[in-house]
Amino acid sequence: MTQDKLTIDDIVDLRAYERERETIRDRIIALKRDRRVSIGPVVTLVFENRDTVQFQIHEMARAERLITDEAIQAELDAYNPLIPEPNHLSATVFIELTSKEEMERWLPALVGIERAIEFRLGLLEGSDDAAVVRCTPEAAHAQQLTRPDTTASVHYVTFAFTDEQIAAFVDGPVTLAVAHPAYEEATILNEATKASLADDLRA
């Protein structure tokens, strides 16, 4: 089933959300557990879907006390692009830094990281090499986050798969990697993460 974009009707008012927030938050934390992938010491991806985006909008509305349709629609316009289309994955990229020294070291060094993340899918039939699916910066956010001399600590990216690449994703080993001159790291996905992301790809 396609993950439909969210509408005003999918965002409940603040009082109704507050009554259900603890239950919703626990469910989303459990969901994200299988959708969070660390690559090396400072880069983490959280793969988004309709549920995680809906939770994000509810949390933004709660934090900023957004009560008008116009304010909620602005959040929908900002976050709906993160709900993946069929044959796509969508992720928020976090550069996780905890000190000024780390920020001064990593943020200038990692300029361009929003184009340097890739899936390596093992062998496709008739190929001697691992299939590679590289990320693309999410267009609505790219202009705000891209700088020539330093990068942001958060980016939004998408990955577009062919049907053959989806089959390779499901059937074989999958590695998520950063191929950046300043940061060469890779992580093999566990089966729970693969299964969760495969649901998005099959949508």
Which pLDDT tens digit goes with each residue over 51-79?
A: 999 999 999 999 999 989 999 999 999 99
pLDDT of 108: 95
| Residue 177, SS3 per DSSP | strand
pTM: 0.90
pLDDT of 148: 79
CB atoms within 10 A of CB 133: 21
pLDDT of 138: 85
What are the DSSP calls for 62-116, one per residue?
A: HHHT--SHHHHHHHHHHHGGGSPPTTEEEEEEEE---SHHHHHHHHHHTTTGGG-
Low-confidence ranges of the chain (pLDDT < 50): none
List Cβ neighbours of 46 (8 Å cut-off, separation of 6 or more): 32, 35, 36, 37, 52, 91, 92, 94
Backbone Cα Rg of the chain: 18
Question: Mean pLDDT in the chain?
Answer: 91
pLDDT of 36: 98
List Cβ neighbours of 6 (8 Å cut-off, separation of 6 or more): 50, 53, 54, 57, 76, 79, 80, 83
DSSP 189: P
pLDDT of 126: 54
